[in-house]
Amino acid sequence: MRYLLPDCLYTPHGFSAGLGVVVNDSGHIVAISENAPEGAKTLRLNGCALMPGFINSHSHVFQRMLRGQCERASTNESFWSWRQKMYELVDILTPAQMEIIAAHTFGEMLQSGYTTVKEFHYLHHPPGGGNYKNPHEMALRIQAAATAAGISLHLIRVAYLNVSESSQKRFADKNIQDALAQTSALQLELSVPVGIAPHSIRAVLPEGIAACAQWARDNSAECHAHVAEQPREIEWSQKEYGVSPMQLLAQHGVLDSNFTAVHATHLDPGEIEAAGSAGITACICPTTEANLGDGVPATQELLNAGTQLAIGTDSQSEIDPFQELRLLEYNERNRLGQRQILDPVDLINATTEAMTVGSEARFLSINLTHTSLLGIAHEQLASALVMAGRPECIQSVWMGSGWVENAQSSSPFVALCRELT
């Protein structure tokens, strides 16, 4: 049993001095206490604050390969032309390449402050369709990569039915029953939590999305979907169904506290009310949404209506949880012409691991002597981390019963980058 005693410890009200956390030998929190319990070995973390790790609730890990690839000034570039570049990558990736990319990128996430990643996984099949010998080959590669990196993984298996382009054959399930059966089989095959994700209203009919949501309820799993990321999706939904995407999901009983709407960028007041009263989670991915030119969500209205908040690295254009929180607030300041809208402590509480008795210990030790944090009192530390924190402020990451050591070689990833880009 260890007693970790930093200069200040994060609590649901902000950082507090004089508190430590007791972790047992199986890596779980036993107590938050002012004193070391008898028999515990004290680890004094001088010059450090301790806080829970961040949860990355939306990731397409392979898209790390696109970083810096589609950024030079050009005309008529959009989300849709970026997606075409992404599909060129989809068309060639092998399972071995996926594992190399994921191992590196999960390691980058961990070093940057994310201790859990929820991978939105849709590369199920070989290029052009068909099956790997083990139909869960790609998911197993992702799980192996997470184990190698030392990050906690949730595999969110994507259901994708309406294939309109050849690249999408790698994603496609035969029908909704097949998608549910594959997800159930994956639950048995993997040793990590498995969720389900009807990709979007473009990819799965509303009845299929409702079936996925029911599968999630029946299996104590999470249900995620991309919702209202691009104006074109809203127009398409209006034309096809006569309502906007969130209203469509509400009509089909999809919205509840088990459901995560990824992006939730373009919602009208009625949709915000429906999302909030159902208690869904809105997973906002501010750096990716800015990178893709998606638009800015009405975060304050969503939270006021009762929606829960999560963040995601999505396209991996950058990996930095402090930057995601900063952009959430700055987007609101620019949108509303006001200041101090989303409270930094609320933002950290919403997007980090539970730091309660019985939870697995997943902590970040923050170097208080880092240039960007020098002179910050612990009462202002949560605000300073949201406004000026960066991954370099993290001294080390604690997962379970000890500090994470980054023992992975970067050579395979660097070689693959040279080969593919």
Q: Which residues form the interface with Zn ion (CB under 5 A)?
A: 314
Q: CB of residue 229 vs Zn ion: minimum separation in angstroms?
A: 8
What's the min distance (Å) between Cβ of 78 and Zn ion? 16
385 by DSSP, 3-state: which? Answer: helix
Shortest reach from residue 193's CB to Zn ion, in Å: 19
What residue number has its CB nearest to Zn ion?
Answer: 314
Nearest to 237 by CA among 246, 229, 245: 245
Mutual angle of helices 206-218 and 176-189, in 10-degree steps: 30
**Helix, strand, or coil (residue 116):** strand
b/e map of 213-252 (b: 16 or more CB within 10 Å)? bebbeebebbbbbbbbbbeebbeebeeeeebbbbbbbbeb
Q: Return the number of the residue (60 or 125) whose C-beta is nearest Zn ion.
A: 60
Distance of CA 341 to the CA centre of its chain: 23
Residue placing its CB nearer to Zn ion in the complex, 7 or 173: 173
CA distance 102 to 61: 6
Min separation Cβ 206 and Zn ion, Å: 19
User: Based on CB atoms, which residue is closest to Zn ion, 294 or 353?
Assistant: 294
Residue 63 CB, nearest distance to Zn ion (Å)? 9
In the block, tokens 């048995």 appear at 188
Nearer to Zn ion, 110 or 284 (CB): 284
Q: Which is nearer to Zn ion, 120 or 398 (CB)?
A: 120
Answer yes or no: are the C-beta atoms of 219 and 193 closer than 8 Å.
no
Residue nearer to Zn ion on the CB measure, 30 or 309? 309
Residue 4, beta-bridge partner list: 21, 43
Q: How far is the CB of 288 from Zn ion (least distance, A)?
A: 8
